[in-house]
Structure 1
Amino acid sequence: MSVADVSDVFGVYVHWPFCLSKCPYCDFNSHVRHAPVDEPRFTRAFAREIETTAARIGRRDVSSIFLGGGTPSLMQPHTVGAILDAIGRHWRVTGDVEVTLEANPTSVEAARFRGYRVAGVNRVSLGVQALDDASLQALGRLHSAREALDAVAIARTAFDRYSFDLIYARPGQTPQTWAQELKQAISEAAEHLSLYQLTIEPDTPFFGLHAAGKLKTPDEATARALYDVTQEVCAGQGLPSYEISNHARPGAECRHNLIYWRGQEYAGIGPGAHGRLDIDGRRHAIATEKRPEAWLMRVEDQGHGITTDDILNSEERADEFLLMGLRLAEGIDPERYRKLSGRPLDPDRIALLREEGAITVDSGGRLRVTQAGFPVLDAVVADLAA
């Protein structure tokens, strides 16, 4: 895929930053508010930031919209509809646009699914995280396994496409119990699963518990075995990995996330959202104010919540392309790296990594990380980028 091939792909990410509670493993930009959120005021601010962004970058054809969080399923369906309408007023939305909304699988939120469908959402991503109640409680989730499966059943009837997330490498988890849980998930998942290995992030409750020895995660060998089971079971059930943590039936990949991993262009709207925008031939890395109320006041005052707007130089852009693109099973075109950076990847490093079994290069020249290389992906990327 050349640089020119991706110039006309554009997505919009909208961040709803509020949650009912903060999960102990989560380091995302999410906030708990005990007073009701002023949805009309936030809706107006989203529309204003969309308008300001559109005025800056001009017309675009929007092929994907992703409402993430936080917990977007805490929004009323008419709020979602108003945000989608604002996007449609300022950019041309393609006829086959993918509109994804992240949702918690509680019965209250699942009751809104049909309203979201009417508002324009056509794909939902459910934060299931585990299929047994003890694990859900340990992860700080507010739903039961039964509620989660009921929500999946409602999603199946309400949306053309749906997916759900699970977390593995949980305390006490074995490859055998994970394989069973995964097979159950695949029987419910239809076309797409996001499977994330539990990581202990700084500034989370899990970090403190782990440091104090009160939270024991699987050792390195068990974590690797759990990863291998994930790949084997999913591939065997017709959901091979298309990205290091994402599995889908062919053709059912999340198009929005492919925009990120392929180094394409997207706008970030809302508190703490990130974007990559091409303006006057240069790639801008943009981030907005994380604190919801501070973002709100900033947008009302100046039309946007941007706090960071860095122009990426050719080397930074090429490194980002490498870092994101090698997460994909499809790999990267080294020629696109050369065009972005002004220099080719080192053939000696490529030869060495091939010899070690970490990468392959096909007859068309595409470079891919192997299944053996994915667990050490960071080291592979660092070696190629050096």
Structure 2
Amino acid sequence: MEDWQHGGFGLYIHWPFCQAKCPYCDFNSHVVAQIDQKAWETAYLSEIERIGYETEGRVLRSVFFGGGTPSLMNPDVVDAILTKVRATWPIANNIEVTLEANPTSVEAKRFAGYRDAGVNRVSMGIQALNDADLKALGRLHNANEAMQAFDIARSIFDRVSFDLIYARQDQSVAAWEAELRQALGLAVDHLSLYQLTIEDGTAFGDRYAAGKLCGLPDEDAAADMYAVTQDVCGEAGFSAYEVSNHARSGCESVHNKIYWKYGDYAGIGPGAHGRLTLGGKRYATEAPLAPTAWLSQVRETGNGESNREELYRTDQFVEFLLMGMRLREGVMLSRFAEIKSEVYSRKIKSLTDLGLVETDDGLLRLTERGSPVLNAVLREILSA
């Protein structure tokens, strides 16, 4: 059994286009006047064929259309892609096929088309449940439009997730708790709840550097919001299976767990990353960020990658911990002998004594006390 099989194999498809660029977003997304969807379909199909040749015979457990705003894709493009996927790999009986959507790009006919193509899960970028905060976040929809879109989604799909951002400007702990309880009253089976982070190179990053992004909660208030998130979601049966993701039992995101359990995944599209084990070696793959550059490269060379780099054992070990320790279940100690070496054992013993991690049933995982300080725990382990 190769190590990647502990996590499985998935496919990520990046659609780089949005209707507008959100001020907090550092994803590879672009606003353009026109999109030649047929040209993009042809490029995606070409890349699927290329990757399929290298990974022939693997059982595909998930497909994830991310972005950008994949709900701007024509349903017939999604249908062509998924038809090609089914012809390329053996498909798991319970394959998860997720498409990200924004409320501004939702209508029933379009969503029915995605369902008919094979999409069985939708992840909606709602982000806030009140108009003032949606406007501050640069979103194009209002709260009523978000609820209408959510109703459409859950009338068509059995599995619907949505995202919210907390620790927003001028948000109190009490206001976040009320909003979270409202969200849980709506939720189907999964919520992704992210603390607002200010990233360099974004509009928010520029405003923050200029001292013009006011009203952000301080560290104590943000920590209280994190604690409230865990408590309220847990009470509602949406336990945190990962730092920022909450789900009913059995409804965790299959695709994201492939990442966190350090499986293999092919990344297709502008800026897409992948991890592939081929010939006993593990590789990190990257693609050009610019949509036109990626599209031209696929057309001209038949290969959408800009870089493929072998990951050596030390690199894999670091990634394994960075990804796997985000999961509530933790990581399997047996997968990497390094983690059982004397130097790492001392670090883990020290963190165990502090009540930040625990080892049980061959797993290393964070405790409730350790979860809010994940980055500090990882720094301590990896400093060995």
Query: Do the two structures share a fold, i.e. TM-score over 0.5?
Result: yes
Which residue is 1:354 aligned to?
A: 352
Q: Deviations over 1:163-208 (max 9, x none)?
A: 0000000011111000000011011112100000000000000011
Q: Report if aligned partners of 2:163, 2:192 keep a CA contact under 8 Å in 1.
A: yes
Q: Report if aligned partners of 2:259, 2:323 keep a CA contact under 8 Å in 1.
A: yes
Cα distance, 1:255–1:383 mapped onto 2, change above 3 Å: same
Give unpaired runs (5+ residues) of structure 1.
none
State how far apart, in whole Å, the 1-side matches of 2:266 and 2:70 are. Answer: 17
State how far apart, in whole Å, the 2-side matches of 1:85 and 1:254 are. Answer: 22
Q: Residue 353 of structure 1 aligns to which amino acid in structure 2?
A: L
The structural deviation recorded for 1:7 is: 5.3
Which residue is 1:264 aligned to?
A: 263
Query: Would you say 1:327 and 2:326 are equivalent positions?
Result: yes
Cα distance, 1:201–1:109 mapped onto 2, change above 3 Å: farther
Query: Would you say 1:211 and 2:209 are equivalent positions?
Result: yes
The structural deviation recorded for 1:4 is: 4.8
Q: Deviations over 1:46-73 (max 9, x none)?
A: 0001111112232221110000000000
Which residue is 2:234 aligned to?
A: 235
1:28-107 alignment to 2 at 5 Å? 28-34=27-33, 36-106=34-104
Q: Report if aligned partners of 2:102, 2:126 keep a CA contact under 8 Å in 1.
A: yes
Secondary structure of the residue that 1:152 maps to in structure 2? helix
Query: Would you say 1:298 and 2:292 are equivalent positions?
Result: no
Q: How many residues are treated as equivalent by the alignment?
A: 382
Cα distance, 1:37–1:53 mapped onto 2, change above 3 Å: same
Secondary structure of the residue that 2:132 maps to in structure 1? helix
Cα distance, 1:272–1:4 mapped onto 2, change above 3 Å: closer
Secondary structure of the residue that 1:306 maps to in structure 2? coil
Q: Report if aligned partners of 2:24, 2:204 keep a CA contact under 8 Å in 1.
A: yes
Cα distance, 1:111–1:22 mapped onto 2, change above 3 Å: farther
The structural deviation recorded for 1:324 is: 0.3
1:1-386 alignment to 2 at 5 Å? 4=3, 6=5, 9-34=8-33, 36-106=34-104, 108-109=106-107, 111-216=109-214, 217-338=216-337, 343=341, 346-362=344-360, 364-385=361-382, 386=384
Cα distance, 1:14–1:345 mapped onto 2, change above 3 Å: farther
The structural deviation recorded for 1:111 is: 4.6
Q: Residue 231 of structure 1 aligns to which amino acid in structure 2?
A: Q
State how far apart, in whole Å, the 2-side matches of 1:343 and 1:296 are. Answer: 46
Q: Report if aligned partners of 1:167, 1:198 keep a CA contact under 8 Å in 2.
A: yes
The structural deviation recorded for 1:231 is: 0.6
Secondary structure of the residue that 2:23 maps to in structure 1? coil
Q: Residue 293 of structure 1 aligns to which amino acid in structure 2?
A: T
Q: Report if aligned partners of 1:10, 1:264 keep a CA contact under 8 Å in 2.
A: yes
Q: Report if aligned partners of 2:71, 2:105 keep a CA contact under 8 Å in 1.
A: no
Q: Deviations over 1:338-378 (max 9, x none)?
A: 17x7956622111110111211112x131111222122211
The TM-score normalised by the length of structure 2 is 0.96
Q: Percent of counterpart pairs with the same letter?
A: 51
Q: Residue 284 of structure 2 aligns to which amino acid in structure 1?
A: A
Q: Report if aligned partners of 2:4, 2:263 keep a CA contact under 8 Å in 1.
A: no
State how far apart, in whole Å, the 2-side matches of 1:345 and 1:81 are. Answer: 51
Cα distance, 1:111–1:142 mapped onto 2, change above 3 Å: farther
Cα distance, 1:344–1:54 mapped onto 2, change above 3 Å: farther
Give unpaired runs (5+ residues) of structure 2.
none
Q: Residue 380 of structure 1 aligns to which amino acid in structure 2?
A: V
Q: Report if aligned partners of 2:269, 2:294 keep a CA contact under 8 Å in 1.
A: yes
Q: Report if aligned partners of 1:128, 1:165 keep a CA contact under 8 Å in 2.
A: yes
State how far apart, in whole Å, the 2-side matches of 1:292 and 1:169 are. Answer: 32
Q: Residue 271 of structure 1 aligns to which amino acid in structure 2?
A: P
Cα distance, 1:263–1:383 mapped onto 2, change above 3 Å: same
Cα distance, 1:5–1:264 mapped onto 2, change above 3 Å: closer
Secondary structure of the residue that 2:270 maps to in structure 1? coil
Secondary structure of the residue that 2:95 maps to in structure 1? strand
Q: Residue 291 of structure 2 aligns to which amino acid in structure 1?
A: P
Q: Report if aligned partners of 1:8, 1:61 keep a CA contact under 8 Å in 2.
A: no
Q: Residue 26 of structure 1 aligns to which amino acid in structure 2?
A: C
Q: Report if aligned partners of 1:17, 1:271 keep a CA contact under 8 Å in 2.
A: yes
Q: Report if aligned partners of 1:125, 1:162 keep a CA contact under 8 Å in 2.
A: yes
Q: Report if aligned partners of 1:10, 1:64 keep a CA contact under 8 Å in 2.
A: yes
Q: Report if aligned partners of 1:335, 1:344 keep a CA contact under 8 Å in 2.
A: no
State how far apart, in whole Å, the 2-side matches of 1:202 and 1:107 are. Answer: 28
Q: Deviations over 1:210-260 (max 9, x none)?
A: 122221311111110111111111001110100000000110000000000
The structural deviation recorded for 1:90 is: 1.4
Secondary structure of the residue that 1:14 maps to in structure 2? strand
Q: Deviations over 1:3-42 (max 9, x none)?
A: 65825821000000000000000000001002x2000001
Kindly report structure 1 stretches of 4+ aligned residues shifted beyond 2 Å.
2-8, 56-59, 106-111, 341-345
Secondary structure of the residue that 1:272 maps to in structure 2? coil
Q: Deviations over 1:108-137 (max 9, x none)?
A: 455511111011100000000000000000
Cα distance, 1:239–1:108 mapped onto 2, change above 3 Å: closer
